[in-house]
Amino acid sequence: MIEVRELKKSFGERVILDQVSLTVPQGTVCGILGPSGSGKSTLLRCVNFLESFEAGEIIIDGEPVGYRSVEGRREPLPRKTIARMRSQCCMVFQQFNLFAHMTALENVSIALIKVRKMPKRSALEAAEGLLGKVGLTHRKDAYPAFLSGGEQQRVAIARALAMQPKVLLLDEVTSALDPERSAEVLDVIADLSREGMTMMMVTHQVHFAREICNQIIFMDGGVIVERGDSSMITDPSSDRLKSFLRHLRLV
């Protein structure tokens, strides 16, 4: 479903991602671990093309993200194509980023109306259904300021799901939440993985990653240091991952 090939990205002199390659098959969850600044969030943002990248390619469901090659030259895709690709792999952010001037229901329905050009009535119906799915029907008329962090993040997930994306990108979605609030968000994500949603998930919740990820990638300094299945967490092979996990008091 997602294929990243030799992705390279730098800010000026600083290399953020170097020769990153990975494959996420349909219906699987790929967890990305790593210390801050290792490039894991940037990797997700590249997949959503919120960041440009200098070399390599990202392919989602057979379609290239961000760039195409025309007569051997690499050039950015038309804006419309970029927007369409984005709407097929939605991102959920650490800080929720709900639209502050809209109720929960409006937050979930707005993209259906503006992007999918759905009539308002059916968009609102679909949005209600999704809020039900994340257990927030009773909060549909609340503005983000009146929602708890966990509720906000669940609305944000519903907002992304509204687009019926092929892929869901989760960028440290529980990092701003206390353990109870993160549990309610993680439950939603676990449900999604059971339903076969393809996901890429940057997280510090190592235990959770081990439970639901089919594949785990450990990044440091812009490169993939180690990759494997969930057993990697209990049985790391690289020293770097060992020391990372030791700091988390897991090994």
Partner 1 sequence: MLAEMPNLVPILLSGMQATLILALSTILIGTCVGTVLGCLAVWGGAIIRILLYALVTIARGVPLVVQVFAVFFVLPVYGIQFSAMTSAAIALSVFASLTIMEIVRAGIKAVSHEQYQAALSLGFSFRDALMSIVFPQALRIMIPGLVNQGVFLVKATSVVSLFGVTEFMFVAKEQIERTLLGFEIMAVVWIMYTLICFPLTQLGRTLEARLNVRGAAQAAS
Q: Is 250 in the site for partner 1 (CB under 8 A)?
A: no
Instruction: Report how far residue 46's alpha carbon sits from residue 198's, in angstroms, rounded to the nearest whole number.
Output: 17
The least CB distance from residue 130 to partner 1, in Å, is: 13
Output 197 or 206, the one with its CB closest to partner 1.
197
- The closest of 187, 237, 234, 236 to 212, measured between CA atoms, is 187
Total number of residues that touch partner 1 (CB under 8 A) = 32
Please report, as residue ranges, which positions from 63 to 82 form the binding site for partner 1 (by CB under 8 A).
79-80
Q: Is 4 in the site for partner 1 (CB under 8 A)?
A: no
The least CB distance from residue 109 to partner 1, in Å, is: 11
Pairing relation of β-strands 14-24 and 29-33? unpaired
For residues 151 to 180, the per-residue mask of contacts with partner 1, x marking binding by CB under 8 A and - elsewhere, is -x------xx--x-----------------
Instruction: Output Rg (C-alpha) for the chain, integer angstroms.
Output: 18
Q: Which stretch binds partner 1 (CB under 8 A): 21-29, 96-104, 125-133, 206-214?
A: 96-104
Q: Which stretch binds partner 1 (CB under 8 A): 54-62, 70-78, 98-106, 207-215?
A: 98-106
Q: Is 114 in the site for partner 1 (CB under 8 A)?
A: yes
Q: Which of 14, 101, 194, 249 binds partner 1 (CB under 8 A)?
A: 101
Output 95 or 137, the one with its CB closest to partner 1.
95
Strand order in the sheet with 215-220: 89-92, 167-171, 198-202, 29-33, 215-220, 223-228
Q: Which of 59, 110, 183, 190 binds partner 1 (CB under 8 A)?
A: 110
Dihedral sign for Cα 50, 55, 68, 25, please: negative
Q: Which of 83, 164, 231, 237 binds partner 1 (CB under 8 A)?
A: 83
Please provide the distance, in angstroms rounded to a whole number, between the alpha carbons at the two ends of the chain.
33
Q: Is 190 in the site for partner 1 (CB under 8 A)?
A: no
Please report, as residue ranges, which positions from 35 to 54 form the binding site for partner 1 (by CB under 8 A).
48, 50
Q: Is 117 in the site for partner 1 (CB under 8 A)?
A: no
HSE-up of residue 154 (Cα within 13 Å, Cβ side): 26
Q: Is 230 in the site for partner 1 (CB under 8 A)?
A: no
Binding residues vs partner 1 (CB under 8 A): 48, 50, 79-80, 83-84, 86-88, 90-91, 93, 95-101, 110-111, 114-115, 143-147, 152, 159-160, 163
